[in-house]
Amino acid sequence: MARELLGIEWDVPRVLLVALVAATLLGVLVAASTSSAAFGLYNPGWEGTSELRTVADEAGTETTVARNVSEYRGAGDGTVAVVLAPDRSYSERDLAAIRGFLARGGTLVVAEDVGAGGNELLGGVGATARVNGTLLRDERHNYRSPAMPVARNVTDNETLTRGVERLTLNYGSVVEPGDANATVLVRSSGFAYLDTNGNEALDDTERLASRPVATVERVGQGRVVVVSDPSVFINTMLERSGNRRFARNLVASEDRLLLDFSHTADLPPLSLALVTVRNAPLLQTAVGFLAVGLVGAWGAGLFGRLGSAVGRLRRKRPSDAPPVTEAALVAYLREQHPEWDESRIRRIAQGISTERGEGGADD
């Protein structure tokens, strides 16, 4: 059975069609606003870094998502920039912008494990540390697997390692500090080794040693922090207490956080659009006017439909039914009151008809 609402007849097929369209649009919206890329800021899965922004929010740090290195221009002291496993080459212009950022006192955090992008960035900005790229394993101190070593040797640093007792890596590597003045923030245990031949076993040519997995060094007026595993910052690994505290210390070490995704996987379409609008004041104004216009047009259409519906309801009121004739009243009164004489019946019927004609209430 169909029902009418706002001028539309709603039967079962139409309701099912609307529900199907709504579910499809919801699916498209979710797909357009999330990402499945590893280390993706808009990836809520286990290997995404959506939780990293939550850590920054909890620390009260102002966060900017950078899709272009132009965000570095003008920034410096008071800003920490985080780059996770970059997979695209940096142009000389890009590197110059980041060098300027460091010259103004900014902090750059580069987390890399097996890719070449992180080392390319480090070399381009003048840092001496490099990520080895070979898998680090620890048969004794690990979390569920030797490929997930727990680095327990933490150097006391007032801002970067305060409250951090350990870091848990997930198929990470090690950092080779090139500057003698560089500070090793975290080292693996003495039972760790580099699996140089990839056979997942300690061989005669591989030796046990405590190795750096996080360092910091001065570059210009700023500093560069290098972490040998970007997985330290993914959603599932932030559940490890030391990792979350280390991430919080990094993002809260300055007043502003720059999450640099300029050389990593693309943002999902909707998120990219939002970032673009946030970074363009004139575009924000245009979108605002467009939104007001659309809301106004929708509201006008809605109120028009409501008005039409109310009008139809009014036209169907009982008071708008055809009037009862005087002859019909006479017949009715004669049947209901046979004891009345004819003159009385006609007088009463005439009175009722006169009252209705003048807008009186029905009896």
- What span, in angstroms and rounded, lies between the C-alpha atoms of 358 and 354? 6
Q: Which residue has the higher pLDDT, 211 or 37?
A: 211
pLDDT of residue 347: 75
Spelled out in words, what is the top-level CATH class assigned to the domain 36-266? alpha beta
> Mean pLDDT score of the chain, rounded to an integer?
80
Per-residue confidence band for 322, with pLDDT thresholds at 50, 70 and 90? low
Q: Which pLDDT value is given to residue 3?
A: 60
Q: Using the structure block, give the residue that is written with the tokens 């529900």.
A: 19
pLDDT of residue 265: 61
Biggest CA-to-CA distance, the chain: 129
Buried/exposed code over 17-31 (b: 16+ C-beta within 10 A; e: otherwise): eeeeeeeeeeeeeee
Domain-by-domain residue ranges, the chain?
Answer: 1-33, 36-266, 322-357
Confidence at residue 126, expressed as pLDDT on a 0 to 100 scale: 96
pLDDT of residue 282: 53
- What value does the mean pLDDT take over residues 103-114? 96
- The pLDDT tens digits of the residues spanning 62-96 come to 999 998 999 999 999 999 999 999 988 999 999 99
Per-residue pLDDT, 35: 42
Mean local confidence (pLDDT), 99-127:
96
CA separation for the pair 322, 359 (Å, rounded): 14
Please tell me the least confidently modeled range out of 28-37, 178-187, 347-356.
Answer: 28-37
Q: What is the pLDDT of residue 43?
A: 85
The yes-or-no verdict on residue 318 having pLDDT over 80 is: no
